[in-house]
Structure 1
């Protein structure tokens, strides 16, 4: 059952040289209790999409079209983009929370982590007594692996991993149904990354919330996600289960991302990156935006923009999968790379 449905969402940034189409006609759904990965290079529109869903965009950004519908457990629907200010204030934290990229910048540097959890509880649960708020703050910090005495610590007194855990604890304060995590493991070493990923999985199983996990590191998503959506130049170009994308990616861009990191098993192989750079969003190339960088590009790719076509294991926006369903990946999927 879907908890969140995004349909035809577009976001522009207005500039002196024209509109920057950061997100273009994106449609996605998030199922209750799942982890949906959102991957792509920097500038592909991942964070802009997440901020649009959470209604956190500020000028010059503006949602130009589309809808975001949230489904409550009682069956009622919420038009997220239509929420008024007070309704939106109630919606955030209680039903949707965000863990921002770089916890040092997201946390208030002049307030202890315990006080920041208390602020959320005091504003959104005003009937909760002070002692109960303190107990809840201690419980949340311990739940994410931070000792109770750290409740009085300031962000600069915590390590990078502990700051990220504190940010997750704040997001969990009111037991939301959806948590958007924007690059939650950026700048952390691989050991701490793995600890954070394991913590997210454990918390998801315990509390039952759904997660939108945003990163440019596709290998991380293969480990944690149930499904993955790949974005390029503001559009979703492929969706599918993590296993399906790993076994047989249907879009050359996904294939390029997979070939950019080494396999853990098997003989050593040359890593093949994606040539070129992402396009200027103010002036996208005609046809498929990826065709100037695509090793499988055909003449038609320069004039025809492929639609996101559903298949048995997901969807892909590529002419190689249009009609005849030609697979750009050799038989055997990732194992054949």
Structure 2
């Protein structure tokens, strides 16, 4: 069952030279209790999509189209984009929480970690006693691997990994149904990164919340996600289960991302990467936005923009693929 349904979402950044279509007609489902990975290069629209879902965009960004429907366990569905200020304030943290990319920037530098957890509880649960709030803060910190005495510590007194864990603890304070994690392991070393990923998986299994995990590192998503959605140029180009994308990617861009990092097991293979740079959203190329960088591009790719078509395990937007087979990366003569 879906907990969140995004339909036809569009987000523009308005400027004197015209609108930049950062998110263009994106439709995506988040199932209850799953981890959905959202991958793509910088500028593909991942974070803008997440901020639009959480209603965190500020001018000059503007949501221009679509709907974001939240389906609670009990009660009627709610279109998040239609919520007023009071209802939106109640919706955040209680139903949907966000873990931002840089915990040092998202945490209040002049407030202790315990005080910041207490703020969430005090505002959203006004009837909760102070002692109960303090006990809840200790419980949350211990659950993410931080000792109780760190409750009185300030963000600058914690390591990068501990700050990220503290941000996750704050997001868990009200047991939300959805947590959006915007590159939560960026700038952390691989050992701490793996600890954070294991912690996220364990917490998801215990509390049953759904996760939207955003990153440019597709190899990371292969370790943690149930399904993966790939974005390029503000649009979705492929969705599917983690297993199907790993074994049989159907879009050349997905395959390029997969072949950009070495495998730890199996036969040795050449790292191909993706030539060129991401497109300028102010002037996307005609047809398929990826065709100037695609090793398999045909003349038709420069003329007709592909649409997402359903396949066995997901969807793909590529003229080379009918949605049923895998793309074989071969140089065209």
Determine the structure 2 residue equivalent to 1:69.
69
Output the CA distance in 2 between the equivalents of 1:87 and 1:256.
42
Residue pair 1:320, 1:327 contacting (<8 A) in 2 also: no
What is the CA distance between 1:329 and its match in structure 2? 2.5
> Could you report, residue by residue, the CA deviation over 1:120-158 in whole angstroms, capped at 9, with x for unpaired residues?
001111100000000000000000000000000000000
Correspondence list, 1:185-204, <5 A: 185-204=185-204
Determine the structure 1 residue equivalent to 2:24.
24
What is the CA distance between 1:322 and its match in structure 2? 3.1
Correspondence list, 1:245-284, <5 A: 245-284=245-284
Give the TM-score taking structure 1 as reference length. Answer: 0.96
Determine the structure 1 residue equivalent to 2:230.
230
Residue pair 1:112, 1:154 contacting (<8 A) in 2 also: yes
Determine the structure 2 residue equivalent to 1:329.
328
1:2 aligns with 2:2: yes
**Which 5+ residue runs of structure 2 have no aligned equivalent?**
none
**Which secondary structure state, in structure 1, belongs to the residue aligned with residue 37 of structure 2?**
strand
1:49 aligns with 2:83: no
Output the CA distance in 2 between the equivalents of 1:288 and 1:153.
51
Correspondence list, 1:276-295, <5 A: 276-295=276-295
**Which 5+ residue runs of structure 1 have no aligned equivalent?**
331-337
> Could you report, residue by residue, the CA deviation over 1:136-188 in whole angstroms, capped at 9, with x for unpaired residues?
00000000000000000000000000000000000000000000000000000
What is the CA distance between 1:328 and its match in structure 2? 1.7
What is the CA distance between 1:75 and its match in structure 2? 4.4
Output the CA distance in 1 between the equivalents of 2:144 and 2:304.
48
What is the CA distance between 1:267 and its match in structure 2? 4.0
Determine the structure 1 residue equivalent to 2:144.
144
What is the CA distance between 1:326 and its match in structure 2? 5.4
Determine the structure 2 residue equivalent to 1:79.
79
Correspondence list, 1:169-184, <5 A: 169-184=169-184
1:37 aligns with 2:60: no
Output the CA distance in 2 between the equivalents of 1:217 and 1:280.
21
Determine the structure 2 residue equivalent to 1:221.
221
**Which secondary structure state, in structure 2, belongs to the residue aligned with residue 319 of structure 1?**
coil
What is the CA distance between 1:217 and its match in structure 2? 0.3
What is the CA distance between 1:313 and its match in structure 2? 1.2
Pairs aligned (count): 330
Determine the structure 2 residue equivalent to 1:117.
117
> Could you report, residue by residue, the CA deviation over 1:45-74 in whole angstroms, capped at 9, with x for unpaired residues?
000000000000000000000000000101
Output the CA distance in 1 between the equivalents of 2:76 and 2:221.
31
**Which secondary structure state, in structure 2, belongs to the residue aligned with residue 93 of structure 1?**
coil
Determine the structure 1 residue equivalent to 2:15.
15
**Which secondary structure state, in structure 1, belongs to the residue aligned with residue 4 of structure 2?**
strand
Determine the structure 2 residue equivalent to 1:334.
none
Residue pair 1:11, 1:65 contacting (<8 A) in 2 also: yes
Output the CA distance in 1 between the equivalents of 2:229 and 2:325.
20
What is the CA distance between 1:266 and its match in structure 2? 3.0
Output the CA distance in 2 between the equivalents of 1:321 and 1:267.
27
Residues 73-82 or 163-172, more deviating: 73-82
**Which secondary structure state, in structure 2, belongs to the residue aligned with residue 253 of structure 1?**
helix
Determine the structure 2 residue equivalent to 1:335.
none
Structure 2 CA distance for partners of 1:142 and 1:326, relative to 1, 3 Å: closer
Output the CA distance in 2 between the equivalents of 1:82 and 1:239.
27
Output the CA distance in 2 between the equivalents of 1:296 and 1:259.
15
Determine the structure 2 residue equivalent to 1:333.
none
